[in-house]
Chains A and B, each alone.
Chain A
Amino acid sequence: MNWLQRLSAGLTKTREAIRGSLDRLLGRGPDPMMLEELEAALIATDLGVRTVGRLMDRLREETYGGDPTASAQTQRLLRVLKEAILATLGACEGEPLDRMVAGGPRPFVLLAVGVNGVGKTTTLAKLAQRLRGSGKTPLLVAADTFRAAAIEQLVVWGRRVGVEVIRHRPGADPSAVVFDGLAAAKARGADVVLIDTAGRLHTKTNLMDELRKMKKVLARELPGAPHEVLLVLDATTGQNALSQARQFHKAVGVTGLALTKLDGTARGGIVVAIAEELKIPVRLIGVGEAAEDLQDFQARAFVDALLGGNADA
């Protein structure tokens, strides 16, 4: 099963709920009860009440009745919903990371940030494996010196995917690790530097300052760096992800998103609201715990998985 199939399988229920209410909607016109049902089905995807409200308004503008078959109309309304979401995601579509790396400066520096336990370390390991597979020389930098065995975790991953890990001792200044990581990358002629930072809640100002400092060190040592500030978000997170994105963006200027744990039943709909408000592209999705479980984000596939239907519905 590929990730889309897996994702779709998990989403059958939502899809049925959305389809079902669309069908009924068509039978009776814009019945308030049916609209409420549809609204609920959309809310279940974590799109958020605001985005859902906008989509519902859009649906109310549509004309009902007329078409001979209900299923043709369901398709039409589904398409309306999808196009509305796609328009939002499309407005901030970004380049795939591989292409950014290929066409970017050398070394290309990526700083991964995010709240605790979302999948930063794992995503970087996956990315390292992928880059290495495409003939690049990545370097992993263990700048999470705080969490118990965070360094060991990255070291094990490094060994597994065959990529060197630059590290200090637990408790060391993360900015110093970043400094050394960059120096090592220059000395060894690495193509990509992947920096793993400690998880931190976006509400903790001192920890956000620490992140700012790391970014400053990077910019000082290598003008233009970091070339990508990747905010890792957990798809099981609800509306709080928007708050996370705002605060991390304010602190270090997020340039791309990675959405992890999409292999469960969570839909990660909140990225639509983030895209709308902050115009940050989603670059990667995590669909499992193995090194291979990383994909480029594709807006159309994502929306299809979110609402159901095939790519050209």
Chain B
Amino acid sequence: MFESLSEKFEKILKQLRAQGVLTEQNIAEALKEIRLALLEADVHFKIVKDFIDRVRQKAAGQEVLESLTPGHQVVKLVWDELRELMGREQAGLGFASVPPTVIMLVGIQGAGKTTTCGKLARVFKQQGKRVLLVAADPRRPAAGDQLASLGADLDVPVHRSDQPGASRADVVRACVEGVARGHDQGYDVVVLDTGGRLHVDDELMEELEDIKRAITPHEVLLVADAMTGQDAVAMAERFEQRVGLTGVILTKVEGDARGGAVLSIRAATGKPIKFLGVGEKPDALEAFHPDRMASRILGMGDVLSLIEKAQEAYSRDQAEAIQKKIAAKSLTLEDFREQIAQVHRMGSMDQILGMLPGGQRLKEMAAMSGGGVPEREIRRTVAMIDSMTPRERRDHTIINGSRKKRIARGSGTSVQDVNRLIKQFLAARKMIKTMTDAGGRRQLAQLLRG
């Protein structure tokens, strides 16, 4: 998600940063391009307009134009506004003081509610909680079977009273029964899978209101497709108005959606995005980090997500060791290679690359050289590091001209490639350091200026 938006931002902001003297004309032009980039990314046109107006207003302020680095100031303005739009804090789920915690998923048809029920159940189960799923969609053919099948795979019970053709009252009753069973049988979490409905469908929206009134859930989560266009705002607003939401889960973000829906939905509801769906399988759910997402859009890469992924996929010890090294500034090319290799094993290169600083460019390069997957680039990087001596890998500063030549020859690359690798390595190290530090955010902003 966000690939092409971050590409564009990278370009526009680089131009801005490069400006020694900034005129109103420069700013206006950059803002025009940012506007187009946001619209092409499906951000709702009203939100784009407000965004641009705010940045323009602030950029016109004296401090910006008179500062020594006006270009950097504007970049910071854009960054701040973007982060504001995304929401500030990472928001988790609220758990009830007296279990069960009742969670209700709502959304339009095909958004991914049923699949997400399975994903959430898996997360709770991993946390050692007892989960009950409740099938509350009597309309879609085999909706209950779908939930039952997901539950069976995860070994999570599914409460079913979703007989086809059920009336509104039946559906409400089924939900109440499900929650009551959760109480009686000592479950920690009850997740309700409601049927898909369009926000303009009065009758079905009333059904949701009825269900909510009857079971008073702790969380009402809107499940929405990341590929949604301008309709995202009307949709999210209506669900918020009629049912009242506590958060949002965005699905199908692992594709090439430009992700404007994130900004639109967040702005339209004011409710936090809590999770991202990144695949069809039950384990494809990630926490949403607004800060990291904003930095990803600005082409900064998302090293923290990467570390977290590595943590989940590999031993905690291993990951902690790396984090310690990073904190001690002792990350070496050897560790870098290890990281890349791990990342490589973790699966979808596309997904991972989007998170790496400079990964965007790596992807472009791969796309230009014909292949969709930049495996080749990764292999070259690994080959270069493999062609180094252990000493070189531990201390990059000794890699002089003749060593570079040898490394290039050994890995079938060029000296420029080796230079680029070292540059990337240093950038990644700096980035990781900044992001893991306390007060990293401030420094990150600094980095943006530099």
Contact = CB atoms under 8 A, between A and B. Distances in A.
Interface of A: 10, 40, 43-46, 48-49, 115-119, 146-150, 152-153, 155-157, 160, 199, 201-203, 205, 234-241, 243, 261, 263-267, 270, 289
A235 B109 CA distance: 12
Interface in B40-99: 40-42, 45-46, 49
Nearest to B373: A205
B141 A160 contact: yes
Interface stretch (B23-31, B206-214, B230-238, B417-425): B230-238
A201 B227 CA distance: 11
A234 B110 contact: yes
A264 B199 contact: yes
B140 interface: yes
Contact of B109 (A10, A117, A146): A117
B378 to A, nearest CB: 16
Interface residues of B, number: 52
Contacts of A266: 229-231
A238 B111 CA distance: 14
Q: Among the interface residues A152, A199, A205, which one has the most CB atoms of the partner chain B within 10 A?
A: A152
Interface in B114-154: 114-115, 118, 139-143, 145-150, 153
A169 to B, nearest CB: 13
A289 B139 contact: yes
Contacts of B256: 202-203, 240, 243
Contacts of A202: 255-256
Given A205-B372, A234-B110, A261-B109, A148 B150 contact: yes
Given A46-B230, A243-B256, A238 B42 contact: yes
Lowest 10 CB-CB distances: which A-B pairs, in order? Answer: A238-B229, A117-B110, A238-B42, A156-B141, A149-B146, A152-B142, A266-B231, A149-B145, A148-B149, A201-B255
B162 interface: no
27 contacts: A43-B45, A46-B231, A49-B40, A115-B255, A116-B252, A118-B110, A148-B147, A149-B148, A149-B149, A150-B146, A152-B146, A153-B140, A153-B142, A201-B254, A202-B255, A203-B256, A237-B228, A238-B231, A238-B232, A239-B258, A240-B42, A240-B227, A261-B108, A264-B108, A265-B234, A266-B231, A270-B229
A265 B145 contact: no
A239 B231 contact: no
B198 interface: yes
B437 interface: no
Nearest to A121: B141
A203 B255 contact: yes
A160 B145 CA distance: 17
Contacts of B150: 148
B36 interface: yes
Contacts of A45: 230
Nearest to A201: B255
Contacts of A261: 108-110, 198
A152 B145 contact: yes
B188 interface: no
B217 interface: no
A43 B198 contact: no
Nearest to A170: B149
Given A115-B252, A264-B198, A270-B229, A40 B49 contact: yes
A258 to B, nearest CB: 14
Contacts of B100: none
A263 B230 contact: no
B159 to A, nearest CB: 17
B200 interface: yes
Interface in B133-182: 139-143, 145-150, 153
